[in-house]
């Protein structure tokens, strides 16, 4: 499964956004200009259109409560879109780390960062089931439509907890299911560029987060993913489509937030730390500096 994902996203890294948006419709579908899952970043500060490959299913950075000076980690960073939006939030005093295991995506994201002169954004190659990140070194984790591609989601949440500082939190957008999809759609899921092939039942997904030991979990946003009827008819008969439409079964995008237990330490701005150091050196009323 990982090899399939690596090969597919290596291909995607060389395509334009319109081709990638339509790829979720299936390589053999005449889906036209449908964008089934992605939301628009256009109104978010830090958005760079050429870093947006149209592969997301939400806007996790919009909900991530990123503060100036935070260290932010993006899982499955792609061409760097969410990293650059996060950088606008964390500012010059913060740091953003993107992790992706597709070399061509890393090459693209690094080029995008270099073009903009971003020296506090870095991209690391790695598997999000085994993050190349030091324990308790991150304030906020974000991810956009990536965990559904990972076989061991419990391991990913364990890794997120490991790298977060006490009191840190995550905001993750992902694809989940409610009810059982028709078998014909399940078997055709590979044609959706992995968009639903690894999706879990929503309740099971949220249970994994609780089992990992996170608290204050909340679903920040939920929206149905509506696959157009003309695409569904490639896999279902008209009667099967009618039954599927009438059922409560569906595919959803959710953005979920949760916190690692513990008290978050408030980091003092660099200018304030410099002043404290100066006062400690000179002493009250001293002119030594």
Return the bridge partners of 177, or none. Answer: 201, 251
CA–CA separation, 236 and 77 (whole Å): 34
Per mean pLDDT, which of 5-9, 268-272, 275-279 is the most reliable? Answer: 5-9
Residues 165-175, buried b or exposed e (16+ Cβ, 10 A)?
A: beebbbbbbbb
| 64-109 confidence digits (pLDDT tens) | 999 999 999 999 998 899 999 999 999 999 999 999 988 888 999 9
- Region 55-62: mean pLDDT is 89
Contact criterion met (CB below 8 Å) for 118 and 86: no
pLDDT of residue 31: 34
Asked if 76 and 271 touch (Cβ cutoff 8 Å), the reply is no
Nearest to 175 by CA among 155, 153, 199, 156: 199
Give me the pLDDT at residue 10, please: 57
Nearest-angstrom CA–CA distance, 244 and 224:
14
What are the sequence ranges of the domains in the chain?
2-282
CATH of the domain spanning 2-282: 3.40.50.150
What is the separation of C-alpha 246 from the centre of its chain, rounded to a whole number of angstroms? 31
Q: Is the pLDDT confidence value at 162 over 60?
A: yes
pLDDT band at 148 (very low <50, low <70, confident <90, very high): confident
| Residue 145 main-chain phi, psi, to 5 deg | 60, 50
Residues contacting residue 268 through CB under 8 Å, at least 6 positions apart = 276
* Helices and strands counted in the chain (H then E): 11, 8
CA pair distance 189, 35, nearest whole angstrom: 17
Buried b (16+ CB within 10 A) or exposed e, 262-277: eeeeebeeeeeeeeee
Using alpha carbons only, what angle is made at residue 46 by residues 40 and 51, rounded to the nearest 5 degrees?
A: 65
**To the nearest whole number, what is the mean pLDDT of the chain?**
81
pLDDT of residue 38: 73
Q: Return the HEC string of 184-225.
A: HHHHCHHHHCCCCCCCEEHHHHHHHHHHCCCEEEEEEEEEEC
pTM above 0.85, yes or no: no
Per-residue pLDDT tens digits for 180-212: 888 887 766 554 444 565 788 999 999 999 999
């Amino acid at each position: 499964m990982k090899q399939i994902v690596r090969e597919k996203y290596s291909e995607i890294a060389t395509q334009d956004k319109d081709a990638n948006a339509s790829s979720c419709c299936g390589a053999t579908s005449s889906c036209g200009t449908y964008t089934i899952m992605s939301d628009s970043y256009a109104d978010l500060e830090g958005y760079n259109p050429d870093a947006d490959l149209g592969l997301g299913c939400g806007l996790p950075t919009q909900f991530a409560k990123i503060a100036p000076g935070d260290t932010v980690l993006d899982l499955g960073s792609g061409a760097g879109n969410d990293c650059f939006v996060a950088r606008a939030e964390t500012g010059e005093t913060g740091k953003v780390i993107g992790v992706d295991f597709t070399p061509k995506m890393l090459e693209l994201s690094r080029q995008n960062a270099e073009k903009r002169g971003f020296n506090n954004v870095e991209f690391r190659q790695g598997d999000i089931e085994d993050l190349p990140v030091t324990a308790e070194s991150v304030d906020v984790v974000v991810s956009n439509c990536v965990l559904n591609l990972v076989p061991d989601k419990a391991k990913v949440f364990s890794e997120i907890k490991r790298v977060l500082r006490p009191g840190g939190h995550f905001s993750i957008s992902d694809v989940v299911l409610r009810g059982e999809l028709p078998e014909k759609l399940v078997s055709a899921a590979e044609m959706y560029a992995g968009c639903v092939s690894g999706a879990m039942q929503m309740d099971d997904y949220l249970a994994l987060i609780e089992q990992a030991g996170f608290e204050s979990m909340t679903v920040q946003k939920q929206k149905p993913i509506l696959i157009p009827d003309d695409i569904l008819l490639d896999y279902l008969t008209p009667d099967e489509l009618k039954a599927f439409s009438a059922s409560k079964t569906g595919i959803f995008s959710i953005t979920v937030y949760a916190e690692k237990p513990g008290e978050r330490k408030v980091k003092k701005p660099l200018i304030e730390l410099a002043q404290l150091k100066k006062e400690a050196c000179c002493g009250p009323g001293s002119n030594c500096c």
